[in-house]
């Protein structure tokens, strides 16, 4: 509902032997920058665009980290889904993520930007299993932003997909480990 007609939709999922509540909590706590692959993707982007690493201190867990760089929680269904959003110009070497409140996000139309919505969702499958989904939707605010975004996306899409895929393994491992601890 925050982006009714996205330019890009990217969706990945994985089955996890843990209840949805544990899976979503684990997703919020992921420390994705611990992955050498994910760090390498960000470094390659910096090199390609001539940017510098963000040296500001940020939390290491995914949800607080995203919020610290400008993403906002647009909606949440406790223990099932969290929807994050931001507005940015990702083609810049050092993009700034603007926090747009949920009530204003759908109608945000300032030229020269893209709106990004990232959903983390855990669907229960029985009492002790769930399917985790990560879904990203992007929508430019005007024709110029669409052109810039399409050029940018043509070379970063594989890296973004790799980041999403690489985060699924540790999520599954950590959520299933939490489940074992809870049962023990």
pLDDT tens per residue across span 32-82 = 999 999 999 999 999 989 988 888 889 999 999 999 999 999 999 999 999
State the Cα–Cα distance between residues 163 and 30, nearest whole angstrom.
Answer: 13
Put simply, whether the predicted model's pTM sits higher than 0.85 gets the answer: yes
Query: Confidence class of residue 2 from pLDDT cuts 50, 70 and 90?
Result: very high
106 vs 116: CA distance, rounded Å: 11
Residues 173, 29 contacting (CB under 8 angstroms):
no
Percent of the chain with pLDDT over 70: 100
Helix (H/G/I), strand (E/B), else coil: 75: strand
Mind listing the pLDDT tens digit for each residue in 86-103? 999 999 999 999 999 999
The Cα 70–Cα 84 span in angstroms is 10
């Amino acid at each position: 509902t925050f982006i009714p007609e996205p330019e890009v939709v990217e969706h990945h999922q994985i089955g996890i032997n843990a209840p949805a509540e544990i899976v979503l909590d684990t997703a919020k706590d992921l420390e994705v920058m611990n992955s050498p692959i994910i760090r390498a993707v960000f470094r390659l982007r910096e090199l390609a665009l001539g940017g510098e690493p963000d040296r500001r201190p940020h939390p290491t867990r995914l949800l607080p980290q995203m919020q610290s760089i400008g993403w906002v929680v647009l909606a949440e269904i406790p223990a099932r889904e969290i929807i994050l959003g931001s507005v940015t110009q990702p083609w810049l070497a050092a993009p700034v993520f603007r926090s747009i409140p949920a009530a204003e996000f759908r109608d945000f139309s300032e030229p020269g930007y893209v709106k990004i919505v990232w959903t983390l969702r855990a669907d229960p499958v029985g009492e002790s299993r769930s399917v985790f989904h990560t879904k990203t939707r992007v929508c430019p605010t005007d024709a110029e932003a669409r052109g810039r975004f399409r050029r940018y996306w043509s070379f970063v899409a594989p890296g973004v997909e790799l980041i999403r895929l690489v985060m699924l393994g540790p999520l599954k491992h950590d959520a299933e480990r939490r489940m074992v601890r809870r049962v023990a």
